[in-house]
Each structure stands twice: as structure tokens, then as C-alpha cells.
Amino acid sequence: MLDNGYRLTVSQLNEYVNGLLKSDSLLSHVCVCGEISGFKRHSSGHLYFSIKDEGALVRCVMFRQNAFSLDFSPQDGQSVTIYGSVSLYVKDGQYQLYVTAMERRGEGELYRRFMLMKTRLEAKGYFDEAHKKNIPSLPRCVGIITSPTGAAIQDIINITRRRFPAMNMLLYPVRVQGDGAAEEIADAIVAMNRIKKADVLIVGRGGGSMEDLWPFNEEIVAKAIYESDIPVVSAVGHETDFSIADFTADLRAPTPSAAAELCVPEYARLYGEVVSAQNYISDLCHKEMDNLIQRLSGIRDSAAFSMTRHRIEMLSRNVEIQRDNMSVMLRSELVNAIHSIEKQQSQLNALSPEAVLDRGYGMVQQEGIFVGSADELKEKQKALLIMKNGIADITIDSVSRG
């Protein structure tokens, strides 16, 4: 192997290449046309994005002092002309454009396709408010259509378990970006409607560029959401991201975490409302009883009963009969109301995971996800068996399906 005698560190190599780029007169004053992708505005005021065309992409940065001069708000999909210089970021060895000025050239191809799709589907009635379904206040099962490995599913699970520990969740794993992702998402919505296990569907993913989120702008996904009998909550990207799925869904959540909060009620709040209703009804019945007793006492002590002893005794007996009848009726209504409340309270308590474990049942967790069906178990893999007084490590040797 040839050896020219030079020994460079990685930093020295990158510094050398950076020097070559800076010394090139063409690259020190360059003008490039393309489409914005992956745009992010840092809290410092610096702008970070890429500029791309049909065949390539290059990273760009525009510092705050230059960004102040912009007369428009850059966003993904816009076609722009940028002016600046080419340099190498020594720390990671990536070259990028340092932008000093930027002009808007048009909406960009992706944004144009988005607006055309939005206009066409709106004309077909996909976004009509009259077609949107209400989200159930207390679902028995929440269906989730997203990537099984992304941060979105973990956020949804964590928030759901915190708000309502016994809530059932059914995950339909799909790809959420790239070729074929839109078809997988649409097929998942159709499948969820076919098996009819979930009362509401959360469809979405975490943030990303306009290209990353594009499957949720495809008509096949919008059609599946529009035709879904199960209410759909769209949770695509960050709060500032909007997709065709957001407009079509029965409810838009700004993030996957917010979708879980919108779909899953707080168990503690529901329990408190039941207890408050029980106390209110009990107090109301006691107050009504006291009012009736006071009215009867007033009638008994009135001047009308002082005329003759016979009339007093006769009316007194009549009052006592009416009082007893009313007391029996009110007590019966009170008992029925208390029984009804206790029944609802018992149903809520039965949903508690602690109550299920106290009855001798156990819960199986595999790969951090609670398993609700034998079809979800993976053979020859370890799992956790959670029981009343402890947790056991188990291995799934085989699964017998009924």
C-alpha cells in the first residue's frame, strides 16, 4: 500500500476539506433552486432544513441574523431560490449550504399535490362535519394503528395506563412512511372495522418532514377513514402539522399523546363523579324527609287541631298514615338509588387491574406490551407473568389456540 508520509486525524482531514471548499470562488457565492424539506425553526431563531430536487438533497442552515430579513415563512414543500456559501461541518464531516438569503419561487410539488388533494376530497364531502361521529366517553377498547417501534405507540400506552390502568388496547402495526405505507394504513382501518373489537381508533405517527408524513395525505387512507364505522382520531406529527387524514377524521389530535388523552377518560375522575352523585342523592333524600316531617309537625300544632280532641286524634292518625306512606316510598326510592350507584361503583371497581389480580387471574406482558390474546404470544420468547403478590419470568414454549 502506498504511503505518502502524511498522517492526519479525522479533525485535520475535515478541516482540510473545509478549507478547499471555502477557497473555491464558485462555492463561496452560490445560488441554488429547489424544494424545502424537513424544515425546523430552532428556539435560537436559526433555521435548519434541506433543499432537494428529483434526484438529490443537501442540508442547509440559515442563521438568525439572516432569517430576520425573510418576507415569508418557510415551510416544507415550498420551492425557493437560496443564496449562500458551501462549507463543511467539521464535527460530522457533512457539507452544507450556509444560507444568507432566500426567495420564494412557488408552492412546491408536494404542497401543490396536497392542496389539489384537499380541494378534491373536500368537494366529495370527505370533510363534512355532518358525517363526523362522536368519540365515546368510556370506550371498552382503544384501537391503535401506528408503527410498533416508534415513540408514538409508547406515548399512547404510557398515557392510557396512567389515566385508566384497566383500559383495553389493540395495536395494529403498520409502516407509517415510505412506499406501501398508505396501503398498510388503509388496510388496517378496514381490518379494525371488520373485527369490531375497538370502540375508537387512533391513527397516526410522530413528527417528520412532509415526505415522511405523506402516506397520511393519500386518498386511499382518507377513503378508509371516511368509510370507517368506528370513530377515528387522527394524530399525525406535531401540533403544527396538518394532513388529509386530519381533515377526514372524526377528531384531530395535535399529537399521539393528545390523542390518548382525548380517547381515554381518567379513572379517578369517573370514580369521584360516581361517589359525588351517590352523596348528592343521599343528602337530597334526607333533606326532603326533614322537610316533610317539619310540615307535618306544623300541621299538627296549628289552631285547626285545637277545636276538639276527637278531630285532633282523627287528623293526627291521618297525618301519621300519610307520613308512614311517604317515608316508606322515600326509603324505597333511596334504597333503589343506592343500589344503582353501588352497582355502577362495583362495575368500575371490576375494571381495576388489582381486582382482576385479586380474583386469581394474571396478566402477561411480552416485549413491554400487555398481551390480550393467545394470538399475540410469541413462542420461544420470554415474558412476564404479573400476579397478585409478585411478578414471574416465564418462557412461552408453545401456544394452544382455542
Encode pLDDT of 126-168 as tens digits: 999 999 999 999 999 999 999 999 899 999 999 999 999 999 9
Give the three-class secondary structure for 384: strand
pLDDT score recorded for residue 117 = 94
Contact 152, 260 (CB under 8 A): no
Please tell me the pTM assigned to this model: 0.55
Q: Stretch 280-297: mean pLDDT, rounded?
A: 87
Cα separation, 29 vs 273, in Å, equals 67
Per-residue burial over 10-25, b = 16 or more CB atoms within 10 Å of its CB, e = otherwise: eeeebeeebeeeeeee
Q: Stretch 220-224: mean pLDDT, rounded?
A: 97
pLDDT score recorded for residue 310 = 65
Q: How confident is the model at residue 227 (pLDDT cuts 50, 70, 90)?
A: very high
Residue 167 cell numbers, joined: 383500559
Q: Is it the case that residue 262 has pLDDT exceeding 90?
A: yes
Q: What is the mean pLDDT of the chain?
A: 87
Q: Is it the case that residue 201 has pLDDT exceeding 90?
A: yes
Spatial CA neighbour of 206 closest among 251, 260, 155, 135? 155
Judged by phi (left if over 0) then psi (alpha if -120 to 50, else beta), residue 170 lies in beta
Report CA torsion sign: 371, 375, 376, 382: positive
Q: Is it the case that residue 189 has pLDDT exceeding 70?
A: yes
CATH superfamily of 112-263: Hypothetical protein af1403; domain 2 (3.40.50.10550)
**Architecture of the 10-106 domain:** Beta Barrel (2.40)
- Domain coordinates in residue numbering, the chain: 10-106, 112-263, 267-351, 355-395
Tell me the residue length of the chain.
402
Q: Is it the case that residue 106 has pLDDT exceeding 70?
A: no
In 3-state terms, the chain is what percent helix, strand and coil (to 5)? 45, 25, 30
Cα separation, 228 vs 1, in Å, equals 66
Tell which wins on pLDDT, 357 or 183: 183
Q: Stretch 291-304: mean pLDDT, rounded?
A: 76
Q: Is it the case that residue 305 has pLDDT exceeding 60?
A: no
Q: Stretch 34-51: mean pLDDT, rounded?
A: 92
pLDDT score recorded for residue 218 = 96
Q: How confident is the model at residue 107 (pLDDT cuts 50, 70, 90)?
A: low
